[in-house]
Amino acid sequence: MSIDSDEGKEKVFTVPLSKIMKELSLKTVYLPCDPDQVLISSMDVNRPGLELNGFFDYFDRSRILIMGNAETAFLKGFTPEERQVSLNTLLSKKSPAVIVARNIEPMPELLEAAKIYEVPIFSTPDATSALVAALVSYMSVELAPRITRHGVLVEVYGEGILLVGDSGIGKSETAIELIKRGHRLVADDAVEIRRVSAKSLVGSSPPNIRHFIELRGIGIINARRIFGMGAVKMSQEIDIVINMEPWDSGKTYDRMGLENDYTEILGIRVPVLTIPVKPGRNLAVIIEVAAMNNRQKKMGFNAAQELLTSLGMDVSMLREQEKKLDLDL
């Protein structure tokens, strides 16, 4: 879910509390409201330490509170009156929820404060560190910056390949051929791209068009129902972009592989290959080779450099050329 902020600002994405409850299998201790209406907008969490002693200068109330052995042991050192004051002050900040780890029995003072300020309380058998890691990992994906772009995303030999190009160039037809050859479809026509880390982009399909492909002359087909569950995938990291364009006899295409074209998607560099399209070229096979070659490059092997070395040329004198392509992504 996304919320449009003021004009010119980024969208603020949120996750309903109900999805977090389901994802982490949380046990409900106290739930005063509809979890679908509680929206979480922060991918970080709070483990209250200084806050239990009344220091709230840098406290972010949009984060979920996590309480484990350390917090519980610290609170046990308080008198019941001090404990009640501390927890009342903490929960008065209206955090979206409190999760108690390791199946620890929530203190009566915590439950009383939760009822006063209507803060949901949950418990889980998971260790505190494992809970924090799982929650942050899940929220970083759900709240990641994202865009939706026209294209087709397929997984070929484990590589995520985003096919882009003008409408009618043959992206969907190429995807069908790849599926027939044992590869998997992630998204057709509209690809939702998320920046899940400083170096990773993950693509998926909008839920309402997932597994559907449009083929001109045939219409809409469901790839999962025709080819089976093994032919589709829910999401895939994007490793390379392949730009399909009509063959231009006047244009010089890269024939050595020493040119490193790239594009930027959400601020992350992604390698780009430009594949000219004309009758007689088997695009599915070319894309399979491109996927395997990209894996080899990531493992440190470059076929063009090996060829030049075998011809007696000094590869160290050659500099690979980098060029940014504006693909409107």
Element (H, E) at 245: strand 240-246
State how far the Cα of 124 lies from the Cα of 291, in Å rounded to an integer: 42
* Beta-bridge partner residues of 264: 269
Q: What is the mean pLDDT of the chain?
A: 90
Domains of the chain, each with CATH number or no CATH = 2-142 (3.40.1390.20), 146-324 (3.40.50.300)
State how far the Cα of 177 lies from the Cα of 102, in Å rounded to an integer: 50
Could you tell me which of 150, 169, 161, 153 has the C-alpha nearest to residue 278? 169
Q: How many residues does the chain have?
A: 329
Q: Report pTM.
A: 0.80
Q: What b-and-e string marks burial along 92-123, b requiring 16 or more CB atoms within 10 Å of the CB?
A: ebebbbbbbbbebebbebbeebbeebebbbbb
CB 193 within 8 A of CB 147: yes
pLDDT 10s digits, 155-202: 999 999 999 999 889 999 999 999 999 999 999 999 999 999 889 999
Residues 6+ apart with CB under 8 A from 197: 140
pLDDT at 317: 56
pLDDT at 315: 63
Residues carrying an active site annotation: 150, 171, 189, 255
State how far the Cα of 172 lies from the Cα of 215, in Å rounded to an integer: 7
- Percent share of the chain, pLDDT over 90: 75
3-state secondary structure of 100: strand
State how far the Cα of 89 lies from the Cα of 192, in Å rounded to an integer: 41
Distances (CA, A) of 1 to 97, 110, 144, 146, 207: 19, 31, 11, 11, 12
Query: pLDDT tens string for the chain (329 positions)?
Result: 555 444 445 577 899 999 999 999 999 999 999 999 999 999 999 999 999 999 999 999 999 999 999 999 999 999 999 999 999 999 999 999 999 999 999 999 999 999 999 999 999 999 999 999 999 999 988 999 999 999 999 999 999 999 999 988 999 999 999 999 999 999 999 999 999 988 999 999 999 999 999 998 899 999 999 999 999 999 999 999 999 999 888 887 777 777 788 999 999 999 999 999 988 889 999 999 999 999 988 888 878 778 877 887 766 655 555 667 777 66
pLDDT at 71: 95
